Structure 1
Amino acid sequence: MRLALAIALTGLLALPAASRAQAPSNPATPEQLVDALEGMFGRNAGLRRAHPKGFCAEGEWVSTGAGAALTTAATLAPGVRAPVLARFSLAGGNPRAPDNVDNARGLAMRLDLPGNESQDFVVISAPVFGVRTPEQFRDNLIARRPDPATGQPDQARIQAFVAANPEVTRQAAWIRANPPSDSYASAPYFGVHSFLFTNAAGQVRPARWSFEPAEGRRSMTPEDRQRLGANFLEAELAARLARGPAEWRVFLTPAQEGDVLTDATLAWPEDRPRVEVARLSIRRVAAADACTGLMFSPVSLPRGIDPSEDPILQMRTPAYAESFSRRSGGQ
């Protein structure tokens, strides 16, 4: 397959067989994933099925030029400045989710690049995703679906699913140990998937994205949760941007020998060497309808960057397209 071939040609990594995606026995479909979200959170007509609570913003991406050694992609070419349309959001499928509870923040954005190219990012404020495969995504939501008679989930069913799929606890454990931020501007964001970066010599190197807030990370304290309330994030960021841009230092962390490229529930070591490749500057909250008609796809990539075989990454665009079709149709 393409990933194995690229790595074999470059000799940069020797991947164990376990790092390659295995075919599931009961493969999930995009329709099943969106149905599972609706079964858990309800059918919220006209809204995104995942991350429905959110708003859009505008800014700029500025490349440092340091990433040009890793890829020929216009995203990281020296001197590149690109306009950004971004969407901040809360994870999950509840459009009324409270801002002050343990939950991941999300950031999706589109860069308009030179040469009539673009790149989409879909990143979250935890370094790991909640499930490893689309089948786990589907089955996890089904296991947690409330019983229509009681309005409560079946705890025995949840415990049985978790016992059989222990990796689904990793994201929640990280969030408990790292409480959510007191602002979208003070949150880090992580590309939990691996991508393949090709340089001018044709060498391919897997790497992961991360975004560190320039003003530093800040987590909510128990007092903050009480003071800030359930709906503070959008107004807080608008007030913050009125004083000046919110900025993030953008890094790429190249993979090392033995890293698994197809499991988004596994974080790479925090002390891993990384390269600062860009600066993201968010300058203003955008009009309410600025990205209503957009579908952000993390595999919308310029030449020089390709997706890995991570099964969650591969399923995102088909599932997003199914969700987009339903909300565009007023469902």
Structure 2
Amino acid sequence: MQDRSAPPRRPLNTASKVMRLTGIALVVAVTAAAFAYVNGSLDSHRLTPRKLVDNLETNNGIYPGYRRNHAKGVCVVGYFENSGQLREYSSAAVFSDARTPLVGRFALAGGNPQAPDSGAPVRSLALRFELANGEQWRTGMNTMPVFPVSTPEAFYEMLQAGRPDPATGKPDPGAMPKFFAAHPESAAFLQWVKSAKPSASYATETYNGINAFYLVNAAGKRQAVRWSVVPLDQNAADAAIAQDANVLEPDLAQRLASGPLRWQLRMTLGKPEDPTSDATKVWPGDRTVLDAGTVVLQEIQPQNSGECRDINYDPLILPSGIEGSDDPLLAARSAVYANSYLRRTSEVGKLPAATATKESRQ
């Protein structure tokens, strides 16, 4: 039915049509150029997401249908229970609503989905919060408290140092020590590696956001933060992992069969002098830490058919009230995740037949 209260539309004259079409063409051209730049088609010497993911494939091997890093994992679903302590710092609905549903994924570092659980000291927990207003907050956290390098270029160099020799199938044993000697910013990470003792359970680990972000309140005031999730109820002093190929997923399933698992989401408030652009730097231990609420996980699902399978845990998908910082690794992670996502989702049909059912719930 026509709305008679609305003024009648005037037909566009020829000049207006040309200007409108020209404007659309310019937008399309600029967008295409931006995508070409990101994909590296304008400059073959520029570091691109494609080059980074190609190196991950070279180092780890190619396993069609799986993520190019953190390939071995398991889906979890649950919710976030808000404490209310972040309301004055952020206008994000996740910090005002009582409860927000989430879909998560635990994983091991590395690109081999058949790797033994004892083979990687780094575990990860990624979460997608589905806010009631339709926005999303996605975050990927790791058990390491800092990143080994501060720039995408240095990360690329590190991948190159770990590249296997075609003749032996193994990396040059002197390449990685040489790399770290040339990158003293890795000191905090190397110190953590020396003392890291991965437990026999995903449930007993603390997971760190590593990169800095900003909380923004309704008045536009910005507060630099880093976050982590710390286990509650679980025994954080669990025994070190045994030399078993598959212990983490069965352990998680057994624990969840007895009831939900909980982590406290802790927000560390930075001061103006704290670096936000360098993920290798640890903030001083005397910074204010707020209890943002509780991450509650209720159910486990297979990663190849569960709800997390088709989610790209891009750390720059943020709701109003949370913003990315000036850390260059954030944009790099976002672009690399997108490249890996496109590769693996085009290969879903190559997953094992029992798990290749299409279940896109994104």
Matched AA of 2:82: S
Residues 173-224 of structure 1: CA distance to partner in whole angstroms, max 9, x if unpaired?
Answer: 31331311221111111110111111122211110111110025635646x5
CA distance in 2, matches of 1:235, 1:35: 32
Are the counterparts in 1 of residues 265 and 295 from structure 2 also a CA contact under 8 Å?
A: yes
Q: Deviations over 1:235-267 (max 9, x none)?
A: 100000011111001111011132111111222
For the 8 Å contact 1:182–1:218, the answer to whether it is kept is: no
Task: After TM superposition, give the deviation of residue 171 of structure 1 in Å.
Answer: 2.6
Structure-2 residue corresponding to 1:237: 252
Deviation of 1:99 after TM superposition, in Å, equals 1.5
Query: Which of 170, 176, 186 is 2:188 aligned to?
Result: 170
2:292 is equivalent to residue 277 of structure 1: yes
Instruction: Please give the alpha-carbon distance, in whole angstroms, between the structure 2 residues aligned to 1:243 and 1:107.
Output: 21
Kindly indicate whether the alpha-carbon contact (under 8 Å) linking 1:123 and 1:192 is maintained by their aligned counterparts in 2: yes
Which deviates the most, 270-279 or 151-160? 151-160
Tell me if the contact between 1:27 and 1:135 (Cα under 8 Å) persists in the aligned partners.
no
**1:39 match:** 58
- For residue 302 of structure 1, the aligned residue among 289, 308, 319 is 319
- How far the C-alpha of 1:166 sits from its partner, in A, is 2.6
Q: How many residues align?
A: 302
Task: Name the residue aligned to 1:251.
Answer: 266
**Contact 1:36/1:142 (8 A) holds in 2:** yes
**1:2-22 CA-partner distances (Å, limit 9, x unpaired):** xxxxxxxxxxxxxxxxxxxxx
| Structure 2 counterpart of 1:67 | 86
Shift of residue 102, structure 1, vs aligned partner: 4.8
Once residues 243 and 171 of structure 1 are traced to their aligned partners in structure 2, the CA distance between those partners, rounded to angstroms, is 35
Residues 1:87 and 2:102 aligned together: no
Partner Cα separation in structure 2 for residue 284 and residue 84 of structure 1? 11
The separation in 1 between residues aligned to 2:238 and 2:118, in whole angstroms, is: 8
- Report if the CA contact (8 A) 2:204-2:238 is conserved: no
Instruction: Give 1:156 shift.
Output: 2.9
Which 5+ residue runs of structure 2 have no aligned equivalent? 1-44, 351-362
Question: Residue 15 of structure 1 aligns with which residue?
Answer: none
User: Is structure 2 residue 310 aligned with structure 1 residue 293?
Assistant: yes
The aligned counterpart of 1:207 is 225
Q: Secondary structure at the match of 2:220?
A: coil
The one-letter code of the counterpart of 1:65 is: G
- Matches of 1:219 and 1:225, distance apart in 2: 15
Give 4+ residue runs of structure 1 displaced > 6 Å after superposition. Answer: none
Q: 1:84 is matched by which residue type in structure 2?
A: L
TM-score (ref. length: structure 2): 0.79
- Percent sequence identity over aligned pairs: 39
Q: What residue is the counterpart of 2:355 in the other structure?
A: none
Aligned to 1:265: 280
TM-score w.r.t. the length of structure 1 is 0.86
Tell me if the contact between 2:199 and 2:239 (Cα under 8 Å) persists in the aligned partners.
no
What residue number does 1:12 align with? Answer: none
Q: Mapping of 1:4-43 within 5 angstroms?
A: 28-43=47-62
* 1:323 matched to 2:340: yes
Q: Which has the greater radius of gyration?
A: 2
Higher relative contact order (CA 8 A, sep 6+): 1
- 2:221 alignment partner AA: Q
Contact 1:104–1:175 (CA<8 Å) still a contact in 2? no
Instruction: Give the residue type in structure 2 aligned to 1:82.
Output: T
2:327 and 2:69 map into 1 onto residues whose CA distance is 19
1:139-218 map, 5 Å: 139-168=157-186, 170-215=188-233, 218=236
Shift of 1:312: 0.8
CA 1:217–1:253 in 2, change beyond 3 Å: closer, same or farther?
A: farther
CA contact (8 A) 2:109 2:120 kept: no
Aligned equivalents of 1:94, 1:28: Cα separation in 2: 24
Per the TM alignment, residue 118 of structure 1 is displaced from its structure 2 partner at its CA by 1.2
Aligned to 1:55: 74
